């Protein structure tokens, strides 16, 4: 009964355009009102919203968000694009490959798909259109490639999954995301290559070794951030939370050294980052409250029993879970989806013998697809807004790239070593 009340109230609230964070909170309150008296319900939900944010690990999220905003305004995206162009610009459909590689690098450094879509899209959209690519194709490439940064560390969403899972190692999750993230990018590049040959898209002149070297040197300070952050976490020099503050300081230094940021522009970046952080943390707080309500009402146990009663075959169960997650990803943002559904599906996955780190990668990659899918795909909206087009026009060129992401998801599900080899190599 409770699970239907939670789902129905949430769907109704979203359907009447109540903001997603408030929809989650109100649906949780409505559900718990059927179990305890009204005063206790309001008090309990309020306490869960406040105490849900009382976590040292969650401090990493605002710091990484701030670092992403500084990168977006500090000239880092431009240098990564030039480096990507020197590497892959001469391939058929060269600018599409540049878009993908640059988005992978920037998204990984910023830890945000939205930041990558905005930063790379603002640089690449007009350039691709001038060289004969359709605007809609450029958007499709940009938004799908931007999601790879959520898999390639550092990644805020892996920190959230660690919290929701009850303490899966953030370092292990960061390492686990490398190969699936790069694999997804390579599959997108393969599709872009085939598409370019079919459509006759132009190629750029091959860069000389000296040009590649110069572009690499220009981009090296930005790329070093990945080594500093991941290397520091793996070596035990600092935690993921401490690494996020190191990222902010390093990005500030780079932005001022590149002379693309002043004290005045920094103020604007801080205000913009504060707005993003407040929205994300409100989502997290409300989602944690909903997770508690589901736990109180024994919803995860009921769902686990229902799924395990369908089949004892891990593949069948994983297909069901992934179909549900794909559907959820279409209508719900990634942060609340991870916080709400990890406690539901992770026990099922563990019962099926699936490693929690591997399941985390599966879940994040699955929900990445939802970020590119109408009607609620957040990254899709950003890409469309930056390019000045409409979602309806982007859907057709998006479909083959969407299929490529699904293929990557299938490979990651079928071959756990893609996720687990690096963590095991480093002793996690």
Which of the listed ranges 67-76, 245-254, 413-422 does the model predict with the highest average pLDDT? 413-422
pLDDT digits (tens, 9 = 90+) for 285-339: 887 787 777 777 777 777 777 777 777 777 888 888 888 888 888 777 787 888 8
Q: What is the mean pLDDT of residues 210-229?
A: 81
Q: Is 9 domain-assigned?
A: no
- Mind giving me the DSSP string for 214-249? HHHHHHHHHHHHHHHHHHHHHTTSS-HHHHHHHHHH
Q: Is 20 domain-assigned?
A: no
CA distance 214 to 259: 19
pLDDT higher than 80, residue 191: yes
Whole-number pLDDT of residue 376: 64
Whole-number pLDDT of residue 258: 79
pLDDT digits (tens, 9 = 90+) for 352-389: 888 999 999 999 999 988 888 876 677 787 777 777 77
Q: What percent of the chain has pLDDT over 90?
A: 10
Q: Is 5 domain-assigned?
A: no
Report the Cα 371 to chain-centroid distance in Å. Answer: 8
Q: What is the mean pLDDT of residues 57-85?
A: 76
Tell me the helices (H) and strands (E) count for the chain, helix number first: 20, 0
Whole-number pLDDT of residue 20: 75
Whole-number pLDDT of residue 389: 76
* Structural domain harbouring 387: 57-284+299-425
| CB within 8 Å of 379: residues ≥ 6 apart | 113, 114, 117, 143, 146, 147, 371, 372
For residue 207, the surrounding DSSP H or E stretch is none
Instruction: Report the sign of the C-alpha dihedral through residues 6, 379, 182, 162, in that order.
Output: negative
CA distance 137 to 394: 7
pTM for the whole structure? 0.80
Whole-number pLDDT of residue 40: 73
User: Under a CB-based contact definition with an 8 Å cutoff, are residues 124 and 102 in contact?
Assistant: yes
pLDDT higher than 90, residue 408: yes
Which of the listed ranges 102-106, 126-130, 157-161, 311-315 does the model predict with the highest average pLDDT? 157-161
Whole-number pLDDT of residue 168: 86
Q: Is 89 domain-assigned?
A: yes
Residue linked to tokens 């979602």: 391
pLDDT higher than 70, residue 403: yes
Q: Is 226 domain-assigned?
A: yes
- Axis-axis angle for helices 135-146, 391-414 (nearest 10): 30
Whole-number pLDDT of residue 358: 94
Number of structural domains found in the chain: 1
Which of the listed ranges 74-83, 94-103, 178-187, 206-215 does the model predict with the highest average pLDDT? 178-187
Q: 68-77, 248-257, 394-403: lowest mean pLDDT where?
A: 68-77
pLDDT digits (tens, 9 = 90+) for 168-188: 888 899 899 889 999 999 999
Q: What is the mean pLDDT of residues 121-146?
A: 80
For residue 258, the surrounding DSSP H or E stretch is none
pLDDT higher than 90, residue 412: yes
pLDDT higher than 70, residue 37: no
CA distance 362 to 140: 22
- Mind giving me the DSSP string for 30-92? HHHTTTS-HHHHHHHHHHHHHHTT--TGGGHHHHHHHHHHHHHHTTHHHHHHHHHHHHHTTST
Q: What is the mean pLDDT of residues 146-159?
A: 84
pLDDT tier at 204 (50, 70, 90 boundaries)?
A: low
Q: Is 30 domain-assigned?
A: no
pLDDT higher than 70, residue 398: yes
Q: Is 207 domain-assigned?
A: yes
CA distance 181 to 152: 5
Instruction: Convert 88-120 to b/e letters by CB count within 10 Å (16 or more is b).
Output: bbebbbbbbbbbbbbbbbbbbbbbbbbbbbbbb
Q: What is the mean pLDDT of the chain?
A: 81
Q: Is 17 domain-assigned?
A: no
Whole-number pLDDT of residue 64: 78
pLDDT higher than 90, residue 197: no
CA distance 164 to 154: 17
Whole-number pLDDT of residue 375: 64
């Amino acid at each position: 009964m409770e699970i239907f009340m939670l789902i129905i109230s949430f769907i109704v609230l979203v359907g009447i355009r109540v903001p997603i964070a408030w929809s989650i909170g109100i649906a949780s309150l409505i559900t718990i009102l059927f179990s305890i008296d009204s005063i206790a319900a309001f008090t309990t939900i309020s306490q869960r919203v406040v105490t849900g944010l009382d976590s040292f690990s969650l401090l990493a999220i605002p710091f990484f968000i701030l670092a992403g905003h500084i990168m977006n305004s500090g000239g880092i995206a431009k240098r990564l694009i030039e480096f990507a162009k020197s590497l892959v610009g001469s391939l058929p459909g060269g600018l599409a490959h540049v878009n993908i590689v640059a988005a992978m690098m920037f998204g990984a450094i910023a830890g945000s798909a939205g930041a990558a879509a905005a930063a790379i899209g603002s640089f690449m959209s007009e350039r691709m259109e001038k060289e004969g690519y359709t605007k809609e194709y450029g958007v499709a490439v940009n938004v799908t490639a931007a999601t790879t940064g959520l898999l390639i560390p550092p990644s805020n969403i892996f920190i959230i999954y660690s919290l929701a899972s009850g303490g899966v190692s953030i370092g292990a999750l960061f390492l686990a995301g490398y190969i699936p993230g790069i694999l997804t990018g390579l599959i997108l590049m393969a599709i872009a290559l085939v598409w370019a040959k079919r459509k006759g898209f132009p190629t750029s002149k091959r860069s000389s070794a000296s040009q590649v070297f110069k572009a690499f040197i220009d981009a090296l300070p930005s790329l070093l951030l990945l080594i500093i952050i991941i290397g520091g976490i793996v070596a035990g020099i600092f935690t993921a939370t401490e690494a996020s503050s190191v990222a902010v300081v390093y990005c500030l230094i780079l932005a001022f050294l590149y002379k693309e940021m002043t004290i005045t522009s920094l103020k604007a970046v801080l205000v913009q980052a504060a707005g993003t952080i407040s929205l994300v943390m409100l989502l997290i707080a409300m989602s944690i409250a909903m997770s508690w309500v589901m736990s109180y009402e024994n919803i995860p146990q009921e769902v686990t029993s229902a799924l395990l009663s369908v089949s004892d075959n891990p593949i069948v169960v994983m297909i069901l879970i992934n179909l549900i997650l794909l559907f959820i990803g279409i209508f719900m943002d990634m942060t609340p989806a991870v916080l709400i559904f990890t406690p539901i599906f992770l026990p099922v996955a563990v019962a099926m013998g699936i490693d929690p780190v591997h399941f985390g990668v599966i879940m994040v990659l699955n929900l990445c697809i939802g970020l590119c899918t109408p009607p609620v795909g957040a990254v899709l909206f950003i890409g469309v807004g930056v390019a000045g087009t409409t979602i309806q026009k982007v859907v057709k060129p998006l479909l083959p790239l969407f299929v490529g992401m699904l293929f990557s998801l299938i490979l990651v599900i079928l071959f756990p070593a893609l996720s687990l080899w690096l963590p095991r190599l480093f002793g996690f």
